[in-house]
Amino acid sequence: MNSFDAAKKIYADLGVDVEKAMKRVDDIAVSLHCWQGDDVRGFENAGSLDGGIAVTGNYPGVARTPEELRADITKVLSLVPGKKRLNVHAIYAEMNGKKVDRNELTVEQFRNWIDFAKANDLGLDFNPTFFSHPMASSGFTLSNPDESIRKFWIEHGIACRKIAAEFGKELNNTCITNFWTPDGFKDTPFDRLAARQRLMQSLDEIFSVKIDPAYNKDAVESKLFGIGAESCTVGSHEFYMGYATTRKILLCLDAGHFHPTEVISDKISSALLFGDEILLHVSRGVRWDSDHVVTLNDELIAIAQEIIRHNYDKKVHIGLDYFDASINRIGAWSIGARNMSRALLMAALEPAELLAKAENTGNFTARLALMEEFKSLPFAAVWDEYCSRSGVPVGTDYVKAIEDYEKDVLSKRK
């Protein structure tokens, strides 16, 4: 008996149908963030990255053009199993020689992304970009006290929702548009309320434009602090929890946007009691919101367990959000994306009935013992089989694929 068949038998004895688990996970889409490939630069050349986020490292081979970025994404797609989407930011607009400011963007600047999505059978997600732009240089966009600046960003938000609706329509696949603004105070503000009122009003204007939810759904992302905005973030967790709930839009939970010991896995069940769907930005903060490559740590497994245990397969939209320029970027992308997929499969293989029974009969000793024993079930054999059936490299083989691509393609980018 090969190791997969042996594993299948062990899982079956615990009440787990391995084939069903693989099929289930294969249908849960993970949205790949286009910005891992070029260190969140985009193609506007408007300026360097700001907004209180930072990419560190100078590993060679960064994508410099839309063509290079798309080639790199194609490579990543070949290394990661399961259903994928692609998450694009407004700064990835292609101007074709024209000067189009953020408040004037239309779907025309994103034609190539739509074609790419069609060719690769991907759904598209979208993000307005409220940073890396002269109008964001004060650190305040939608909450800016200057009305003309606010207006510019409101127009950008509306323009992006219209673009997103086109994505959804043309691809016949609902786009999720995520709103994150860096707005925040370096030092203690006197008036937190006024800024939050302005943010609320600006968002209300943006969302007052009606868009068919079959084409686009909106999400709002909170944050604890950013670099240069350490004392007060206008769009805090409480702000957006209330905002998303009352406006009936999606809350976006980013794994790096809370206190270091606070976890988003614990928030999913609460958020989904008060909203129909949520968006996740799966990231990994190390001591701060550092956006490290996602690893298979306890929190990633817990996030996947929450999704699987409560059948949130269609209610939780999974997006990746990290950026590492200190290692091969294709590696960073695929290591993190494979881990997301790996965690989902691990969760889908959990002997859930046995755990539920122990808990429901008040046998917490058995619950703890089972949870610990289940950590060493023969998961690897199922993961390898899943990768093999998905037509992506098995085990460490993808390291060679990354190295070959570096040698053949990335090293030539000088």
Interface contacts to ligand RNT, rule CB under 6 A? 35, 40, 53, 89, 127, 180, 221, 223, 254, 281, 289, 321
> What minimum distance in Å lies between the beta carbon of 398 and ligand RNT?
25
Q: Answer whether 177's CB lies under 8 Å from 231's CB.
A: no
Report the 10 Å Cβ neighbour count for 121.
Answer: 11
113 assigned to active site: no
Nearer to ligand RNT, 177 or 386 (CB): 177
Burial 346-362 (b: 16+ CB within 10 A, else e): bbbbbbbebbeebeeee
Say how far apart CA 248 and CA 268 lie, in whole Å.
Answer: 16
Bridge partners (DSSP) of residue 319 are: 31, 281
Among residues 254, 248, 339, the alpha carbon closest in space to that of 290 is found at: 254
Stretch that binds Zn ion, among 13-21, 62-70, 181-189, 246-254 (CB under 5 A): 246-254
Q: Given candidates 39, 183, 321, 385, which one binds Zn ion under the rule CB under 5 A?
A: 321
Q: Which is nearer to ligand RNT, 26 or 183 (CB)?
A: 183
Of the residues 217, 281, 292, 317, which is catalytic? 281
102, 288, 298, 340, 343 from 349: Cα distances, Å: 45, 32, 16, 14, 10
As a whole number of angstroms, the distance between CA 251 and CA 271 comes to: 8
> What amino acid occupies position 132?
S
Helices (H), 30-146: 66-77, 111-119
The residue (of 18 and 124) whose beta carbon lies closer to ligand RNT is 124
Residue 211 and residue 167 in contact, taking contact as beta carbons nearer than 8 Å = no
Sole binder of Zn ion in the list 281, 292, 317, 338 (CB under 5 A): 281
- Catalytic position from the list 223, 267, 292, 317: 223
Residue 314: active-site member:
no
Q: Which does 53 bind (CB under 5 to 8 A by kind): Zn ion, ligand RNT, none?
A: ligand RNT
Beta bridge partners of 184: 233
User: Per CB under 5 A, does 291 bind Zn ion?
Assistant: no
Could you say which of 72, 166, 183, 291 is catalytic?
291
289 catalytically annotated = yes
Binding piece for Zn ion, criterion CB under 5 A, among 56-64, 252-260, 271-279, 330-338: 252-260
- Which range, of 140-148, 212-220, 318-326, 389-397, touches Zn ion by CB under 5 A? 318-326
Q: Pairing mode, if any, of strands 84-89 and 123-127?
A: parallel
C-alpha distances in angstroms, 44 versus 41, 99, 158, 265, 297?
8, 9, 19, 36, 36
Which residues are 229's β-sheet partners? 226
CB 269: neighbour CB atoms within 10 A?
12
Beta partners for residue 288, in sequence order: 286
The residue within the footprint of Zn ion, chosen from 39, 72, 94, 254 (CB under 5 A), is 254
What is the nearest approach in angstroms of ligand RNT to the Cβ of residue 389? 32
Q: Reply yes or no on whether 291 is catalytic.
A: yes
Q: Active-site residue 257, yes or no?
A: yes
Catalytic residue among 72, 218, 289, 385: 289
Of 26, 39, 72, 254, the catalytic one is 254
Q: Is 223 a catalytic residue?
A: yes
Whichever of 235 and 393 has its CB closer to ligand RNT, that residue is 235
* Annotated catalytic residue within 72, 218, 221, 306: 221
Whether residue 254 lies in the annotated active site: yes
Which positions lie near Zn ion, rule CB under 5 A? 254, 281, 321
Where in the sequence numbering do the catalytic residues fall? 180, 221, 223, 254, 257, 281, 289, 291, 321
